[in-house]
Amino acid sequence: MNAMRKLTPLLFLLITCLADAQTRMPVNFYMHLKGQINENFNIKADLVKRGDSLFGHYEYVFSEYDNTSYYIYIGNTIEMKGIALSNGTIKLFEPPFGKSSLFEGRFVNQKRFSGHWIGPDGNLKIPFDLSEEYANGSVPLNVFSLKDSVFITPKSRQPKAILDLLLLFPAESGNVVMSDSLRKIIAEKFSEGSHGSLNPDSIINNIRRLYFGNFKLYQSPSTDSSTSMKNWSKSKTMEVVLNDGNLLTLKIIHKVSIGEGSPKKVIDAITVFLKNARIVGLADLIRESYLPKINEMVDSKIREKFHLSPSASLKDAGFFADRITTFDQVFITRQGIGFFFNEYSIAGPETGGFEVIVPFQEVGDGLFKDGVLSELLH
């Protein structure tokens, strides 16, 4: 009996630790998830966890068969932002964040996220079950994160430099050639200076060294007055737009501010064809004879976005020309072809950076459907 009394706390501790180990998740992770809501609505999601914060998006996936062909339709991309609570519960809110529907659940193991989708009023609760999966031409990614700050001297509290980095980097793959080529592309896009390493920790540490080194170098009355004796802030983070059909679309969001001025924001959006690890361009997607039509479509989407009539002058609205004939960046989403324009690329600061999406259905026969898009569209 005494032996049992001594063993009982040990057994309880062991059971508790085992149960906790089943649901304990890494501090940082990326997951490509697939599953169902209410057992009849298929969805796909991309989710990033960074500490207690989470962000990502999901889409509904619909299928239809008309006796001759099988079609897959993708719903609109719905953004998610959320938090991981200390008890293991995860809450992912849809826009407007905190005031609408949400996913609330737990990771029942390292690869499965289950719970309920809850409507805006809290009364409607529908079960969901999602599992991590990298089939259909998707690739696993690892998360590398840094948040740091320094003062000009140990005793001073001003000026201060803040650095925030989030790098998504390909995990080990059976296809070594593709994996190494993909790492090189992401490293070149994310790195700064002449740093040529493919080691993600080294990439982040090099950015940290350069940034804080420059901060201290310019904190002197004898240097440029626009940068000296002022607080600095810099963030460089990544988001997954698409990871499916052998296509990986990433956004690198770079924000910099000095002093009290508004942050300067630059976004680099790229799509990589995973079969040969090559960056996709517009010529891979659109037939050459159709390019003038694409120009018209993008022009129309921009006017629609900024509530301008077809005959309105773009110059009067802050654009540099009345016709959009150049594209800053081209990328692929589940719904269509994206065109991103950074601030000052085609317009002044009044418009800021923005994107427009031309749906695949609207492009129609102008698409190369049997090229890099073949697996995504079929």
In CATH, 141-278 is 3.40.50.970: no
Identical fold for domains 23-132 and 141-278, yes or no, is no
CATH topology of domain 23-132: Porin (2.40.160)
User: Tokens in use for 154?
Assistant: 């140990």
* Radius of gyration from C-alpha coordinates of the chain: 24
For the chain, what is the largest distance between any 2 Cα atoms, rounded to a whole number of angstroms?
91
Phi-psi region of 261 (alpha: psi -120 to 50; beta: other; left: phi over 0): beta
Instruction: Give the pLDDT score at 69.
Output: 53
Instruction: Give the pLDDT score at 11.
Output: 52
- Please answer whether residues 143 and 28 qualify as being in contact, where contact means their C-beta atoms are separated by less than 8 angstroms: yes
User: Tokens in use for 121?
Assistant: 């009023």
d(CA 251, CA 240): 7
**Block mean pLDDT (10 aa), the chain, length 378:** 49 47 77 94 95 95 61 77 95 87 95 95 94 92 96 80 96 78 94 81 94 86 63 96 96 93 89 94 94 93 94 92 83 93 88 91 91 88
User: CATH for 282-377?
Assistant: 3.90.640.20
Q: Where are the domains of the chain?
A: 23-132, 141-278, 282-377
- Neighbouring CB atoms inside 10 A of 70's CB total 9
User: Tokens in use for 350?
Assistant: 């009044």
The residues near 123 (Cβ < 8 Å, ≥ 6 apart) are none
Instruction: Give the pLDDT score at 4.
Output: 44
**Strand order, beta sheet including 160-170:** 141-151, 160-170, 232-244, 247-258, 264-273, 278-279
